[in-house]
Amino acid sequence: MELFLQQVLAGLATGGIYACMALAVVMIYQAIDHLNFAQGEMAMFSTFVAWQLLQWDVPWWAAFVLTVVVSFVAGIAVERIVFKPIRNAPVLSHVVVFIALFAIFNSLAGFIWDFTIKPFPTPFGTAPLFGSGLVSAHQAGMIAVTLLVLVFLYGFFRYTAVGLQMRAAALNPQSARLVGVRVGWMVALGWGMAAAIGAIAGLLIAPVVFLDPNMMLGILLYGFAAAVLGGLDSPGGAVVGGFAVGIMENLVATYVPVVGPELKLPIALVIIVTVLVVRPGGLFGRVHVQRV
Amino acid sequence: MDARAETRPVVSPAARAPALTAGRAILLAGLVVAVALPFVAKSFLVFQLTLVLVYAIAICGLNLLTGFNGQFSLGHGAFYALGAYTAAILMEHGNVPYLWTIPAAGLVCFVAGFLFGLPALRLEAIYLALATFALAIAAPQIFKLSPLEHWTGGNQGIVILKPDAPFGLPLNQDQWLYFLTLAVAFVMFWAAHNIVQSRTGRAIMAIRDNPIAARSMGIDTALYKTLTFGVSALYTGVAGALGAIVVQFVAPDSFNVSLSIAFLVGLVVGGVGWIPGALFGGLFVLFVPNIAEHISKGLSGAAYGAILILLIYLMPSGVGGLFHLLARRMRRFGR
Amino acid sequence: MPNFAKALSYAGIAVAAALVAAPASAQKKYDPGASDAEIKVGNMMPYSGPASAYGLIGKTIEAYFKKVNADGGINGRKINFITYDDAYSPPKAVEQARKLVESDEVLLIFQSLGTPSNTAIQKYMNSKKVPQLFVATGATKWGDPKGFPWTMGWQPTYQSEGRIYAKFLLDKHPNGKIGILYQNDDYGKDYVKGLKDGLGDKAKSMIVAEVPYEPADPTVDSQMVRLKASGADVFFNVTTPKFAAQAIKKAAELGWQPVHLLNNVSQSVGSVLRPAGLENAKGIYSSYYLKDANDPQWKDDPAMNEWRAFMDKYFPDGDKTSSFTVYGYAVAQTMAQVLKQCGDELTRENVMRQAANLKNLDIGVLLPGIRINTSASDFYPIEQMQMQRFNGERWESIGDVMSGEVGG
């Protein structure tokens, strides 16, 4: 029983990482109606920018704000420069461009900052929380920031004009344009926000997993899984999904005999897919009804 | 991620007739070149071209599923791995002659693909993407699983002997494998072409274009979708078996996620929903990383990405899109 | 050749006098890849993909050969080092190896990295009779002169190292309860096998938990919680640098203080222990054969100073905190020595003969007392290691140089 509780707590702590990334995934999905495979690498690159600022003796929170702003602008720039010219290309061509961006950011980061892991400082301290060491102060801080971002996103999409316009632009671009929404700029804004949230995620994750150009390879998949499990149009669902994936993965590794430890991710993914088969919109998402 | 509406090839029926005759000529010329090449090219290039054909077969399978049926897959590397392991295990533990392992791999993958297609029926495009992506992640981990180690060789993988040309044909190993792969590729592409042109093919495409309308016309969408998944996996599995024989080695590290992603990139670059596109896809998958590396070792990834973006700018619908555009222009010019 | 002798002393290679005087055959003999002007040496590294951290080794070797060429080359011939990216993918490795052998026509392939990639090309290299020298993996299978006479490893095998830890445990903690964290691939499993073989009958009773992780896992937190819960008081940490740093940090956070054995893959002070927190790393045991660049005890070491001068001049962008740059430097020196011994008979056969004829070669950046020895029946160049303990600031040697005695 004690092991069970420990694994749940440890899963919660790791789940915070996934929840963080899942929010960025939901953000981009709300803006462009599909997933961005380069998102993890963009977040990693932002984190390196922050690391570079810290090397230049910029205080932590100042580096945080600067990085988020820079990432926001960079996200908009990526949309304007890379995606605007191919706006009418098929979706799969966009997916391929995501893959291209993935390769570019990964390679650039390795070229500029090399592949050796780098420690990334935390503003929350490393003291263990509750004495057990299962959740560190940093991880608690990370979860708190994630929840703050969640509240912000919830409010943004529900109560602000821009947020509502963005959703309209993603769901039905033609109609949105007819009612005066500047769809192109909404998409760009969505990219900027997704990049900014990704940067926050990167800065919070790096103190736990260490910073290197490949740090997001695995995490992005967990972020996708969490977002999909919770429902891609529900920021709250994504966060719950993140914690669920973290806990589920640990329990599979601990309690599934023989193959559990070796297959914890695949088994967790099978569970998620099963959930999706039963509830195609995710736990908290809405099912899209298709009209003829 | 609405793959359906946008993957439709931009070709009108009227455009087909002249393209077809021109297509025949191109096909014939291509075949002549393909047969002559191994006698003039270096062994190493013959080996590379064999791999191009292997990847082309795999991409052709993905094209049947994604391009013609509108089902999205990020996990075809898993079927490729399954085919490769089926062939390797049959040779290693069953002493099965290598030629027989190719259809066996196809069969195993057909069943696996069909079974995977059943739950996939319930999944919308983006969720299917995640499910197939999960498959790509899981495959190498399953093949190195300790309880299966006796069969799969675990992390060490299985080393395969390279076959000699049969009947005393005056071909070296590379040339023989090239011709074998070429023959298999020819049959597979020809079959794919026929499937797409047939009544079945029209049903498959109707499901892509409008599933509800297709269902109301009496098409058994569930059956066709799962069957397409199976056939698509069969293609990729055959490619996997050939790849294993050509490379002489299977190991979990050969089949990670980047393989599945390479197939997808190859599909899009070649042209979604255009059968010959897979050949261009195969060329891209094999040669573009080498070109990128040649441009800059430290920034090979960036060079690769830049080439890819450039290609999409020039040909938003891949080589296939460009081909159709040119065919239309030529027809207009001819009038 | 006074110039070359000078170059050698710069390089920090001190060879037994008898070897320096070894007579080169009077007649010049060449295989593809060698000529009066140059020697083509091929190589493959994962410059891209998830294992790209290792690419640093290839870049270091490239820089080293640049230095050799600047100093006049080897027996008057320049080294043409051709290195390709195999992305840690076996099919790509086969393609690149064939490109090197058939298209670039190299004399040999040197330091190709990774067990999967090297396994994929081993049969090809041996059937083509092209040397596959000093491969960058610690698997045991590279020292099989009967089965694969054209393949040779370099570093101590993972299994030998596992055995060294077993010896240490049987000696110091015979009743320890061992928990193992290992990477779920050939490298991780080889270490575990070495440890088990070394423990012999006691393996069953001493090992209480074996927990794998995947290289794609974000963290090893869950694994660490399990290991602590297993009641283990000895922790065998078989992880690559990033996960090693995570595990060391997590153990400290959990308040778990076992006897901690860390594999040498992740023994670098600069790129593992410092990120993990030097305080947390205090008391960790490991074994090693190379000098650590960030270890204060080698601050004024002449060989390490030569290495630093080399890095400053030929590889200024290179990471001096990483052990890979020291490793690349050392293995490239071994290669240079083999080519030098070949004299004017630069045939593939002679390359293998000379590679199997290294006698007490002392590479300066190896730990004191560790020498490179090979023979026609011994294809394991480095077989000795030194147990070390981290004192919170630097590694301290414990006991004598040990030998793991696997294969060979």
The alpha-carbon gap from C275 to the nearest alpha carbon of chain A, in Å, equals: 5
Q: Note the residue count of chain A.
A: 292
Pure H helices in A126-233: 137-159, 161-171, 173-178, 183-209, 216-230
Q: What is the rounded CA–CA span in Å between residue C291 and residue C294?
A: 9
Task: Write the pLDDT tens digit of every residue in C341-389.
Answer: 999 999 999 999 999 999 989 898 998 888 999 999 889 999 889 899 9
Given a cut of 60, whether residue B9 has pLDDT beyond it is: no
Determine phi and psi for C105, rounding to 5 degrees.
Answer: 55, 60
Q: What is the pLDDT of residue A129?
A: 63
Dist CA B307 CA A81 (whole Å): 16
Say if residue C35 is exposed, middle or buried (CB neighbours under 10 Å; 0-12, 13-18, 19+): middle
Q: Does residue B186 carry a pLDDT above 80?
A: yes
- How far apart, in whole angstroms, are the C-alpha atoms of residue C175 and residue C234? 10
- Give the nearest partner residue to A218 out of C52, C217, C254, using CB atoms: C217
Nearest residue in A to B257, CA atom:
A217
pLDDT at C1 over 50: no
Contact B237, B79 (CB under 8 A): yes
Interface A:C, Cβ pairs < 8 A: 103
- For chain A, the C-alpha Rg in angstroms (whole number) is 19
pLDDT of amino acid A290: 52
- pLDDT the model gives residue C7: 46
What's the half-sphere exposure (Cβ side, CA atoms, 13 Å) at C21? 3
Contact flag B47-C85 (C-beta cutoff 8 Å)? no
Of the pLDDT bands very low, low, confident and very high (cuts 50, 70, 90), residue C2 is: very low
The residue among A1, A102, A115 with the most chain C CBs within 10 A of its CB, best to mutate, is A115
Is residue A96 within 8 A of residue B317, CB to CB? The reply is no
Distance, CA of C52 to CA of C85 (rounded, Å): 9
- Concatenated DSSP letters of B262-275: HHHHHHHHH-TT-T
SS3 for C396? strand
Q: Does B144 touch chain C (CB under 8 A)?
A: yes
SS (H, E, C) A48-75: HHHHHHHHCCCCHHHHHHHHHHHHHHHH
The predicted-structure confidence for B296-311, as pLDDT tens digits, reads as follows 888 888 999 999 999 9
- Average pLDDT estimate for A113-120: 87
Q: Show residues of chain B in contact with C120, CB under 8 Å.
A: 157, 247-249, 251, 254
Q: What is the pLDDT of residues A162-218, one digit of tens each?
A: 888 888 888 788 888 888 888 888 889 989 999 999 999 999 999 988 999 988 888
pLDDT value at position B189?
94
Looking at chain B, which residue has its C-alpha nearest residue A278?
Answer: B122
Across the interface, whether the CB atoms of B253 and C88 are under 8 A apart is answered: yes
Alpha carbon of residue C140 to chain centroid: 13
Q: Measuring CA to CA, which residue among A43, A7, A26, A10 is closest to residue A206?
A: A43
Query: Which among A124, A210, A216 is the top mutation candidate for probing chain C, defined by the most C β-carbons within 10 Å of its own β-carbon?
Result: A210
Whether the predicted interface score ipTM is above 0.85: yes
Segment (H or E) for C398: strand C395-403
Q: Which tokens is A232 given? A: 């891609």
Name the residue with tokens 């190493």.
B44
- The percentage of residues in chain A with a pLDDT greater than 70, rounded to a whole number, is 94
Instruction: Name the pairing type of β-strands C178-183 and C78-85.
Output: unpaired
Chains contacting B (3+ CB pairs below 8 angstroms): A, C
- Please judge whether B141 and A263 are an interchain contact, meaning their C-beta atoms are less than 8 angstroms apart: yes
Say whether C221 and A2 touch across the interface (CB within 8 A): no
Q: List the single residue in C with minimal CA-CA distance to A126.
A: C253
How close A250 comes to chain C (CA, Å)?
Answer: 6
Tell me the mean pLDDT in the region B59-67: 94
* CB interface of C with B, residues 56-95, below 8 Å: 83-85, 87-92, 94-95
Chain A CB contacts of B272 under 8 Å are 90, 92
Residue A83 in this model has a pLDDT that exceeds 50: yes
Q: Is C132 helix (H, G, I), strand (E, B) or coil?
A: strand
Q: Residues B268, A93: contact at Cβ < 8 Å?
A: yes
With contacts defined as CB-CB under 8 Å, which chain B residues touch C86? none
Instruction: Please tell me the predicted confidence (pLDDT) of residue C402.
Output: 82
Q: Report pTM.
A: 0.89
pLDDT at residue A231, rounded to an integer: 83
Chain B residue nearest residue A266, CA to CA = B138
* Closest partner CB to B145 (pick from A82, A86, A263): A263
Residue among B102, B114, B146 at smallest CA distance from B246: B102
φ/ψ (deg, to 5) at C328: -60, -40
Residue A291 has pLDDT above 60, yes or no: no
Tokens linked to A64? 């945080």
Is the predicted pLDDT of residue C21 greater than 70, yes or no?
no
Interchain CB contact of B254 with C (< 8 Å)? yes
Per the CB < 8 A criterion, the answer to whether B139 and B255 are in contact is yes
Q: Give chain B's mean pLDDT.
A: 87
Whether B155 has its CB under 8 Å from any CB of chain C: the answer is yes
Q: Does position B6 have pLDDT exceeding 80, yes or no?
A: no
- Confirm if C247 and C181 have CB atoms less than 8 A apart: yes
Helix/strand/coil (H/E/C) assignment for every residue in B101-131: HHHHHHHHHHHHHHHHHHHHCCCCHHHHHHH
All partners of chain A with 3 or more CB pairs under 8 angstroms: B, C
Q: Which of A6, A218, A262 sits opposite C218 (nearest CB)?
A: A218
Of the listed ranges B140-154, C171-185, C303-317, the least confidently predicted one is B140-154
Mean pLDDT of B253-263: 91
Identify residue B247 by its one-letter amino acid code.
V
A276 contacts B316? CB cut-off 8 A: no
| Chain B residues touching A221 at Cβ < 8 A | 133, 137
- Is the distance from CB of B271 to CB of A59 less than 8 angstroms? no
Q: What percent of chain C has pLDDT above 70?
A: 92
| Tally of CB atoms within 10 A around A289 | 5
Question: What one-character-per-residue DSSP string does B64-90 give?
Answer: IIIIIT----S-HHHHHHHHHHHHHHH
Question: How far apart are the CA of A102 and the nearest CA of chain C, in angstroms?
Answer: 11
pLDDT mean over A22-47: 89
Does the pLDDT value for residue A12 go beyond 70? yes
The tokens describing C349, both together, are 């056969």
How confident is the model at residue C407, as a pLDDT? 46
Q: Which site among A26, A32, A96 would you substitute to test the B interface, given the most B Cβ atoms closer than 10 Å to its Cβ?
A: A96
- Give how far B133 is from chain A: nearest CA, Å: 9
Q: How confident is the model at residue B3 (pLDDT cuts 50, 70, 90)?
A: very low
Give the SS3 label for residue C302: helix
The CB density around residue C3, as the number of other CB atoms within 10 Å, is 11
B296 vs C: CB within 8 A: no
pLDDT band at C8 (very low <50, low <70, confident <90, very high): very low
Res A292 pLDDT > 70 = no
The encoded tokens of residue C53 equal 């951290």
Mean pLDDT over C267-289 rounds to 89
Mutate to test the interface with A, among C60, C184, C185, C219 (most CBs of A within 10 A): C219
Chain B residues within an 8 Å CB radius of A108: 299, 301-302
Q: How confident is the model at residue C406 (pLDDT cuts 50, 70, 90)?
A: low
What CA–CA distance (Å, rounded) separates A92 from C83? 34
Judge: C47–B300 Cβ closer than 8 Å, yes or no: yes
Tens digits of residue pLDDT in B194-230:
999 998 889 889 888 888 888 888 888 889 999 999 9
Q: Which chains share 3+ C-beta pairs under 8 angstroms with C? A: A, B
> What mean pLDDT, rounded, does chain C reach?
87
- Would you say A263 and B138 are in contact if contact means Cβ atoms under 8 Å apart? yes
